[in-house]
Amino acid sequence: MLALDTTKPLIAPYTRPPPTTTSLDWAPLALIDLSKFDAPGGKQALAQELKDAVQCWGFWTVIGAGISQEDVDRQLAIGNAFFNLPIQEKRQVPCDFAVGK
């Protein structure tokens, strides 16, 4: 018999939206590959890549962090679960930005 994993709350799984079919003006995202971190000169190369991404594009994508797609999808599902709640329920947990919450 399959045991139910009670360590994680049950929420709807994340479903990746389909690619857009709309013609959009877009800029490529820089890829920052963290798997280079421990390579000789890796930290310096990553710092330069990040600096270039910030200065040229303002956006970037991080890859090679060792985080599984399953874990990423779980985090996206948690975000969706929160943002799909009614506003009255979300307001029960106020956010105090002044103290870093």
Rounded to whole angstroms, the Cα distance separating 60 from 32 reads: 7
Phi, psi of 26 (to 5 degrees): -140, 160
Judged against a pLDDT cut of 90, whether residue 4 lies above it is answered with no
Residues, the chain: 101
Greater model confidence, 93 or 83: 83
Quick check: 11 and 78 in contact, CB under 8 A? yes
Rounded to whole angstroms, the Cα distance separating 93 from 101 reads: 11
- With a threshold of 0.75, does the pTM exceed it? no
Residue spans of the domains in the chain: they are: 30-99
pLDDT digit string (tens) for 37-89? 999 999 999 999 999 999 998 899 999 999 999 999 999 999 999 899 999 99
